[in-house]
Amino acid sequence: MKPIPLRYLLLLLLATSLSGCTWLNSPSKPLTPPGKAQVDVWKIDELEPDHLALARELVEKRLYDVALVQLGPAMEKKIPRAFDLAGVCARETGDYAGAKDLFSKALALDPNNASVHNNLGLLYAMDQHPQKARKSFEKAVALDPGHPAYLNNLGFLLLSQKSYSQAETWLEKSLSLNPADLTLVNNLALCLGCLGRHDHALDLLLAHHPEEDALFNMACIYSRCNEPQKAARLIKSLKDRSAFDIQTKNQGLQEGAGMPGDVANSIYEDKFRPAMKKD
Protein backbone atom coordinates (compact mmCIF):
# COMPACT_ATOMS: atom_id res chain seq x y z
CA MET A 1 0.00 0.00 0.00
CA LYS A 2 1.39 3.32 -1.08
CA PRO A 3 1.50 6.08 1.46
CA ILE A 4 -0.96 8.93 0.89
CA PRO A 5 0.83 11.93 -0.57
CA LEU A 6 1.09 14.85 1.77
CA ARG A 7 -0.94 17.19 -0.51
CA TYR A 8 -3.93 14.80 -0.44
CA LEU A 9 -3.69 14.42 3.32
CA LEU A 10 -3.80 18.20 3.75
CA LEU A 11 -6.90 18.42 1.48
CA LEU A 12 -8.64 15.70 3.51
CA LEU A 13 -7.92 17.50 6.79
CA LEU A 14 -9.13 20.80 5.30
CA ALA A 15 -12.43 19.22 4.17
CA THR A 16 -12.97 17.73 7.63
CA SER A 17 -12.23 21.09 9.23
CA LEU A 18 -14.69 22.93 6.99
CA SER A 19 -17.34 20.32 7.69
CA GLY A 20 -16.78 20.78 11.40
CA CYS A 21 -17.17 24.56 11.14
CA THR A 22 -20.48 24.17 9.33
CA TRP A 23 -21.78 21.91 12.11
CA LEU A 24 -20.63 24.27 14.84
CA ASN A 25 -22.42 27.21 13.21
CA SER A 26 -25.75 25.37 12.74
CA PRO A 27 -28.67 25.94 15.16
CA SER A 28 -28.50 23.94 18.37
CA LYS A 29 -32.20 22.97 18.04
CA PRO A 30 -32.44 19.19 17.71
CA LEU A 31 -33.52 17.85 14.38
CA THR A 32 -37.09 16.63 13.99
CA PRO A 33 -37.20 12.94 13.10
CA PRO A 34 -38.45 12.26 9.56
CA GLY A 35 -42.24 12.10 9.33
CA LYS A 36 -42.80 13.78 12.73
CA ALA A 37 -44.13 17.35 12.85
CA GLN A 38 -42.54 19.94 15.11
CA VAL A 39 -44.99 20.95 17.88
CA ASP A 40 -44.66 24.29 19.67
CA VAL A 41 -45.44 24.08 23.38
CA TRP A 42 -47.03 27.15 25.02
CA LYS A 43 -45.52 28.32 28.25
CA ILE A 44 -48.80 28.58 30.18
CA ASP A 45 -47.05 29.90 33.28
CA GLU A 46 -46.37 33.11 31.33
CA LEU A 47 -50.03 33.71 30.34
CA GLU A 48 -51.91 36.40 32.27
CA PRO A 49 -55.52 35.76 33.37
CA ASP A 50 -58.29 37.85 31.82
CA HIS A 51 -59.04 39.91 34.91
CA LEU A 52 -61.92 41.82 33.30
CA ALA A 53 -63.71 38.67 32.18
CA LEU A 54 -63.29 37.09 35.59
CA ALA A 55 -64.49 40.26 37.31
CA ARG A 56 -67.58 40.44 35.08
CA GLU A 57 -68.52 36.86 36.01
CA LEU A 58 -68.04 37.65 39.69
CA VAL A 59 -70.18 40.79 39.43
CA GLU A 60 -72.96 38.75 37.81
CA LYS A 61 -72.74 36.38 40.79
CA ARG A 62 -72.82 39.38 43.17
CA LEU A 63 -69.40 38.51 44.56
CA TYR A 64 -68.41 42.16 44.58
CA ASP A 65 -65.51 42.00 47.04
CA VAL A 66 -63.83 39.21 45.07
CA ALA A 67 -64.48 41.06 41.80
CA LEU A 68 -62.65 44.12 43.11
CA VAL A 69 -59.54 41.99 43.68
CA GLN A 70 -59.61 40.89 40.05
CA LEU A 71 -60.11 44.46 38.88
CA GLY A 72 -57.01 45.78 40.65
CA PRO A 73 -54.48 44.95 37.87
CA ALA A 74 -56.80 46.30 35.17
CA MET A 75 -57.34 49.56 37.06
CA GLU A 76 -53.57 49.94 37.41
CA LYS A 77 -53.43 49.81 33.61
CA LYS A 78 -56.04 52.60 33.42
CA ILE A 79 -58.63 50.49 31.59
CA PRO A 80 -61.99 52.33 31.60
CA ARG A 81 -64.07 49.13 31.82
CA ALA A 82 -62.26 48.18 35.02
CA PHE A 83 -63.31 51.42 36.72
CA ASP A 84 -66.84 50.94 35.37
CA LEU A 85 -67.14 47.47 36.93
CA ALA A 86 -65.50 48.66 40.15
CA GLY A 87 -68.12 51.41 40.29
CA VAL A 88 -70.86 48.80 39.93
CA CYS A 89 -69.36 46.85 42.86
CA ALA A 90 -69.29 49.97 45.01
CA ARG A 91 -72.83 50.97 44.03
CA GLU A 92 -74.31 47.56 44.73
CA THR A 93 -72.72 47.44 48.19
CA GLY A 94 -74.11 50.86 49.11
CA ASP A 95 -70.93 52.89 48.68
CA TYR A 96 -72.51 55.58 46.50
CA ALA A 97 -69.71 58.11 47.00
CA GLY A 98 -67.07 55.54 46.03
CA ALA A 99 -69.13 54.47 43.03
CA LYS A 100 -69.46 58.04 41.78
CA ASP A 101 -65.70 58.53 42.09
CA LEU A 102 -64.98 55.34 40.14
CA PHE A 103 -67.47 56.20 37.38
CA SER A 104 -65.92 59.68 37.14
CA LYS A 105 -62.48 58.11 36.66
CA ALA A 106 -63.87 55.85 33.95
CA LEU A 107 -65.40 58.81 32.11
CA ALA A 108 -62.16 60.78 32.43
CA LEU A 109 -60.50 57.96 30.47
CA ASP A 110 -63.40 57.41 28.05
CA PRO A 111 -66.02 60.21 28.03
CA ASN A 112 -68.17 58.46 25.43
CA ASN A 113 -68.54 55.12 27.20
CA ALA A 114 -72.28 54.35 27.14
CA SER A 115 -72.03 51.67 29.83
CA VAL A 116 -70.50 54.10 32.32
CA HIS A 117 -73.20 56.71 31.67
CA ASN A 118 -75.89 54.05 32.14
CA ASN A 119 -74.36 52.81 35.39
CA LEU A 120 -74.00 56.37 36.63
CA GLY A 121 -77.68 56.90 35.82
CA LEU A 122 -78.58 53.86 37.89
CA LEU A 123 -76.52 55.26 40.76
CA TYR A 124 -78.35 58.61 40.60
CA ALA A 125 -81.73 56.84 40.42
CA MET A 126 -80.90 54.71 43.48
CA ASP A 127 -79.67 57.80 45.32
CA GLN A 128 -82.89 59.71 44.56
CA HIS A 129 -81.49 62.18 42.03
CA PRO A 130 -83.92 61.64 39.12
CA GLN A 131 -82.88 64.63 37.01
CA LYS A 132 -79.23 63.64 37.09
CA ALA A 133 -80.26 60.06 36.37
CA ARG A 134 -82.26 61.17 33.35
CA LYS A 135 -79.33 63.10 31.88
CA SER A 136 -77.05 60.07 32.31
CA PHE A 137 -79.57 57.68 30.74
CA GLU A 138 -80.17 60.07 27.84
CA LYS A 139 -76.41 60.23 27.25
CA ALA A 140 -76.14 56.42 27.28
CA VAL A 141 -79.01 56.12 24.79
CA ALA A 142 -77.50 58.78 22.52
CA LEU A 143 -74.19 56.91 22.47
CA ASP A 144 -75.70 53.44 22.03
CA PRO A 145 -79.34 53.66 20.80
CA GLY A 146 -79.45 49.95 20.05
CA HIS A 147 -78.91 48.76 23.60
CA PRO A 148 -82.30 47.64 25.04
CA ALA A 149 -81.25 48.01 28.69
CA TYR A 150 -80.35 51.67 28.26
CA LEU A 151 -83.66 52.38 26.52
CA ASN A 152 -85.54 50.52 29.25
CA ASN A 153 -83.84 52.42 32.04
CA LEU A 154 -84.64 55.79 30.49
CA GLY A 155 -88.22 54.67 29.84
CA PHE A 156 -88.79 53.38 33.34
CA LEU A 157 -87.35 56.53 34.90
CA LEU A 158 -89.79 58.60 32.81
CA LEU A 159 -92.57 56.23 33.89
CA SER A 160 -91.69 56.81 37.55
CA GLN A 161 -91.91 60.55 36.86
CA LYS A 162 -95.39 60.03 35.33
CA SER A 163 -94.20 61.07 31.88
CA TYR A 164 -96.14 58.13 30.48
CA SER A 165 -96.24 59.00 26.79
CA GLN A 166 -92.49 59.60 26.64
CA ALA A 167 -91.88 56.46 28.67
CA GLU A 168 -93.97 54.38 26.26
CA THR A 169 -91.79 55.42 23.32
CA TRP A 170 -88.57 54.24 24.95
CA LEU A 171 -90.08 51.10 26.47
CA GLU A 172 -91.55 50.04 23.11
CA LYS A 173 -88.20 50.52 21.41
CA SER A 174 -86.48 48.54 24.14
CA LEU A 175 -88.91 45.62 23.83
CA SER A 176 -88.67 45.62 20.03
CA LEU A 177 -84.91 45.08 20.37
CA ASN A 178 -85.29 42.25 22.91
CA PRO A 179 -88.82 40.77 22.72
CA ALA A 180 -88.01 37.84 25.02
CA ASP A 181 -87.04 39.95 28.05
CA LEU A 182 -89.89 39.74 30.56
CA THR A 183 -88.64 42.78 32.47
CA LEU A 184 -89.21 44.88 29.37
CA VAL A 185 -92.62 43.28 28.83
CA ASN A 186 -93.73 44.05 32.38
CA ASN A 187 -92.47 47.63 32.29
CA LEU A 188 -94.30 48.39 29.06
CA ALA A 189 -97.47 46.74 30.39
CA LEU A 190 -97.27 48.91 33.50
CA CYS A 191 -96.85 51.99 31.32
CA LEU A 192 -99.87 51.04 29.18
CA GLY A 193 -101.89 50.54 32.35
CA CYS A 194 -100.91 53.98 33.61
CA LEU A 195 -102.07 55.39 30.26
CA GLY A 196 -105.47 53.75 30.82
CA ARG A 197 -104.97 51.19 28.03
CA HIS A 198 -105.69 48.22 30.27
CA ASP A 199 -106.78 45.85 27.51
CA HIS A 200 -103.52 46.39 25.64
CA ALA A 201 -101.55 45.88 28.84
CA LEU A 202 -103.31 42.59 29.58
CA ASP A 203 -102.90 41.36 25.99
CA LEU A 204 -99.18 42.08 26.22
CA LEU A 205 -98.85 40.19 29.51
CA LEU A 206 -100.85 37.20 28.25
CA ALA A 207 -98.67 37.00 25.13
CA HIS A 208 -95.52 36.56 27.23
CA HIS A 209 -96.54 35.02 30.57
CA PRO A 210 -98.46 31.96 31.74
CA GLU A 211 -102.08 33.03 32.28
CA GLU A 212 -101.97 33.14 36.10
CA ASP A 213 -98.78 35.19 36.20
CA ALA A 214 -100.19 37.56 33.59
CA LEU A 215 -103.42 38.05 35.55
CA PHE A 216 -101.55 38.58 38.80
CA ASN A 217 -99.33 41.18 37.16
CA MET A 218 -102.42 42.86 35.76
CA ALA A 219 -103.98 42.96 39.23
CA CYS A 220 -100.87 44.75 40.48
CA ILE A 221 -101.09 47.19 37.60
CA TYR A 222 -104.74 47.91 38.39
CA SER A 223 -103.76 48.71 41.96
CA ARG A 224 -100.94 50.96 40.80
CA CYS A 225 -103.42 52.77 38.56
CA ASN A 226 -105.99 53.29 41.35
CA GLU A 227 -108.39 50.62 40.13
CA PRO A 228 -108.77 48.61 43.38
CA GLN A 229 -112.09 46.99 42.42
CA LYS A 230 -110.64 45.53 39.22
CA ALA A 231 -107.59 44.36 41.13
CA ALA A 232 -109.76 42.69 43.77
CA ARG A 233 -111.83 40.84 41.16
CA LEU A 234 -108.72 39.46 39.49
CA ILE A 235 -107.21 38.37 42.80
CA LYS A 236 -110.45 36.67 43.81
CA SER A 237 -110.61 34.76 40.54
CA LEU A 238 -107.02 33.66 41.00
CA LYS A 239 -107.56 32.54 44.59
CA ASP A 240 -110.26 30.20 43.36
CA ARG A 241 -107.54 28.25 41.55
CA SER A 242 -105.73 25.81 43.82
CA ALA A 243 -102.40 26.26 42.01
CA PHE A 244 -102.41 29.95 42.83
CA ASP A 245 -103.66 29.64 46.41
CA ILE A 246 -100.27 28.83 47.94
CA GLN A 247 -98.64 31.67 46.07
CA THR A 248 -101.12 34.27 47.32
CA LYS A 249 -100.80 33.03 50.89
CA ASN A 250 -97.06 33.43 50.62
CA GLN A 251 -97.63 36.99 49.47
CA GLY A 252 -99.53 37.68 52.70
CA LEU A 253 -102.72 38.89 50.98
CA GLN A 254 -106.00 38.67 52.90
CA GLU A 255 -108.87 36.62 51.53
CA GLY A 256 -111.19 38.73 49.38
CA ALA A 257 -109.18 41.91 49.86
CA GLY A 258 -107.89 44.15 47.16
CA MET A 259 -104.28 45.36 47.21
CA PRO A 260 -103.35 48.91 48.17
CA GLY A 261 -101.09 50.56 45.65
CA ASP A 262 -97.96 50.42 47.81
CA VAL A 263 -98.46 46.71 48.61
CA ALA A 264 -99.09 45.87 44.96
CA ASN A 265 -96.06 47.84 43.88
CA SER A 266 -93.84 46.07 46.42
CA ILE A 267 -95.02 42.61 45.35
CA TYR A 268 -94.75 43.49 41.68
CA GLU A 269 -91.23 44.84 41.99
CA ASP A 270 -89.93 42.08 44.28
CA LYS A 271 -91.44 39.09 42.51
CA PHE A 272 -92.13 40.01 38.91
CA ARG A 273 -90.15 43.02 37.76
CA PRO A 274 -86.64 44.16 38.58
CA ALA A 275 -87.50 47.49 36.95
CA MET A 276 -84.12 48.69 35.76
CA LYS A 277 -81.56 46.59 33.95
CA LYS A 278 -78.29 46.58 35.82
CA ASP A 279 -74.84 45.87 34.43
Query: Does the pLDDT of residue 255 top 50, yes or no?
Result: no
Q: How far is CA 24 from the centre of its chain?
A: 60
pLDDT confidence tier of residue 44, bands split at 50, 70 and 90: very low
pLDDT confidence tier of residue 235, bands split at 50, 70 and 90: confident
As a whole number, mean pLDDT of residues 52-58 equals 89
Phi, psi of 137 (to 5 degrees): -65, -40
- List pLDDT tens digits, range 168-178: 999 999 999 99
Return the higher-pLDDT residue of 266 and 110. Answer: 110
In the prediction, which pLDDT does 50 show? 81
Among residues 146, 95, 91, the alpha carbon closest in space to that of 116 is found at 91
Query: Does the pLDDT of residue 257 top 70, yes or no?
Result: no
- List pLDDT tens digits, range 109-150: 999 999 999 999 999 999 999 999 999 999 999 999 999 999
* Helices vs. strands in the chain: H and E counts, helices first: 15, 0
Please give the model's pTM, rounded to 2 decimal places: 0.74
- List pLDDT tens digits, range 100-109: 999 999 999 9
Among residues 267, 117, 127, 122, the alpha carbon closest in space to that of 190 is found at 267
As a whole number, mean pLDDT of residues 200-224 equals 93
User: Residue 171: which H helix or E strand, with range?
Assistant: helix 164-177
- List pLDDT tens digits, range 184-205: 999 999 999 999 999 999 999 9
In the prediction, which pLDDT does 9 show? 42
In the prediction, which pLDDT does 239 show? 81
Phi, psi of 224 (to 5 degrees): -65, -30
Residue type, 71: L
